[in-house]
Amino acid sequence: MTFSGKSLDVVFYPKSVALVGASREVDFYINTISASKLKENFFLVNPRYSEVLGFKCYSSILDIPKPVDYAIFAIPARLIPKVLEDCGKKGVKVVHIYSSGFSETGLEEGKRLEEEILNIAKSYGIRIIGPNCMGVYCPESGLFFSHDLPSDEGSVGFISQSGGQAISFIFKGMLRGFRFSKVISYGNALDIDFVELIDYLAEDSKTSVIGAYVEGLRKTKGLLETLKKASKIKPLVILKGGQTEDGARAAASHTGVLAGSAKIWEGFLRQVKAIQVENFDEMADIIVGFLYAFPPKGKGVTIVTTSGGSAVIHTDLCVKVGLTIPKFSEETQNRLRKFIPLAGTSIKNPLDAWPAFQYGTLPDALNVISQDENIHSLIIEVQPEEFKAYTTTDPTIVDKFTAIIGKTCKTIMNEQGKPVMIAVTRSIYPELEAKIKTQLQNMNLPVYHSVYDAAKTLSELFSKFTSINTS
């Protein structure tokens, strides 16, 4: 029995869902799905209760008066074979096993139980998600697996072997200004595995960029072709867990898979033109870059700050990540002098933009810089502290600044085809920092935590540009 990628539609878009083993302990499924688009077709099952959290509870899945596409199992591992048989009889198409206690325990019993479950599932044509995972988050269809997840849709598809990391990364998206088309935490990967999920998301029209956290693979069939294909269609950003020996040991006890050597993975991911990252912050950085900007066509970057002093350090950091900080051309310098009323020495890269903002010539100045042929991208550093002193005399100064910066960034990206990143630094005024970030993120701009993070991202995006254009 094989399935094509398309057959996973029912995994993300079930028309009806049952939660087997409903109790207060899994209120994060009950409260969220019962408030979603699925609410009319969401059923609780537990022979011990007639009602859970105010919702009717059936004794068996067979008692539900409507068809059920998708069942979530929150029951002890040993009870699963029996209930899975019931699901088969009911015509359930997908079973997500939230429960743990399988191969990840390292015990023979857990592995045997997994085999038994897989055999029953195959005999009924049921697809299995998990076990030992959070399942699916798809705001479009109404599937949720935690409180506080956004109900608005985005275009990031995220695949995670770890449930905790799946939730954390959705939160990270909220913090960084992006949302998700589909997230799946697939745990021990007894049936539905990495390759099939990548294949599905590659073809999914609602997904424009794919992120994946993988510890190890059960099935490697089609891996190379699928990843190659996917990374041609859309950016594919991968974090490999268990790269070190100690990490691989942790992975084995976490999701029961063998992690594989770091070197092999690194070479492999380079070969398939996926982008490998070291942690989830880097993954979010890259995703923001693809969503709200695009790869630069060269290494020359200009840094524009609202505070003069950090030119030297920023220059060092940009060079270290593989970019260059070219001098402005004579022409650019001459044109800038008309807008920025400063001593000649200050017309340099990095540029202090505060005077231009104060004199109202910032859009013109940025526009001139972006036309310099040695400059392929821009990073604008915003230090919230700089605004604090002015907010008393002009309470709208932040709104004015973000409106000007936002409009100018978009113009440069559209007209010059050069990406513009904005780095809002950590501030002693957290509300001011949050306000600036949120305003810029709401304009769908690429916002970073530091110039370094933005520079590292531009360098990665440039590699991606180069790899595409030399393939």
Applying CB under 8 A, the residues found at the interface with its own copies are 101, 104-106, 147-148, 162-165, 167-168, 171-172, 174-175, 215, 239, 241-247, 249-251, 253-254, 278-281, 307-313, 315-320, 324-325, 343, 345, 348, 350, 383, 385, 388-389, 426-428, 430, 434, 450, 452
- Looking at the DSSP bridge assignments, the partners of residue 71 are 18, 95
CB-based contact 325:349 (threshold 8 Å)? yes
Q: Which is nearer to its own copies, 307 or 329 (CB)?
A: 307
Q: Which is nearer to its own copies, 233 or 434 (CB)?
A: 434
CB-based contact 241:251 (threshold 8 Å)? yes
Q: Which is nearer to its own copies, 86 or 385 (CB)?
A: 385
The conformation of residue 138, written as its DSSP 8-state character, comes to: B
Q: Which is nearer to its own copies, 120 or 455 (CB)?
A: 455
Q: Note the maximum CA span of the chain.
A: 81
Amino acid in the structure at residue 341? P
Q: Which is nearer to its own copies, 408 or 425 (CB)?
A: 425
| Least spacing, CB of residue 242 vs its own copies, in Å | 5
Q: Which is nearer to its own copies, 161 or 181 (CB)?
A: 161
**Buried b / exposed e along 351-365 (16+ C-beta atoms within 10 A):** bbbbbbbeeebbbbb
| Least spacing, CB of residue 309 vs its own copies, in Å | 2
- Taking the C-alpha atoms of residue 350 and residue 246, their distance in angstroms, rounded to an integer, is 42
| Least spacing, CB of residue 21 vs its own copies, in Å | 18
| Least spacing, CB of residue 205 vs its own copies, in Å | 28
CB-based contact 325:350 (threshold 8 Å)? yes
Q: Which is nearer to its own copies, 43 or 180 (CB)?
A: 180
| Least spacing, CB of residue 241 vs its own copies, in Å | 4
- Strands 156-160 and 127-129, by their bridges, are unpaired
170 CB-side CA count, 13 A: 30
- Taking the C-alpha atoms of residue 298 and residue 279, their distance in angstroms, rounded to an integer, is 25
Give, for 436, the enclosing helix (H) or strand (E): helix 430-442
Tokens linked to 22 = 């409903």
Torsion of CA 455, 459, 462, 463, to 10 degrees: -160
Residues 6+ apart with CB under 8 A from 469: none
- Looking at the DSSP bridge assignments, the partners of residue 73 are 20, 97
| Least spacing, CB of residue 89 vs its own copies, in Å | 32
| Least spacing, CB of residue 470 vs its own copies, in Å | 26
| Least spacing, CB of residue 41 vs its own copies, in Å | 26
Q: Which is nearer to its own copies, 155 or 427 (CB)?
A: 427
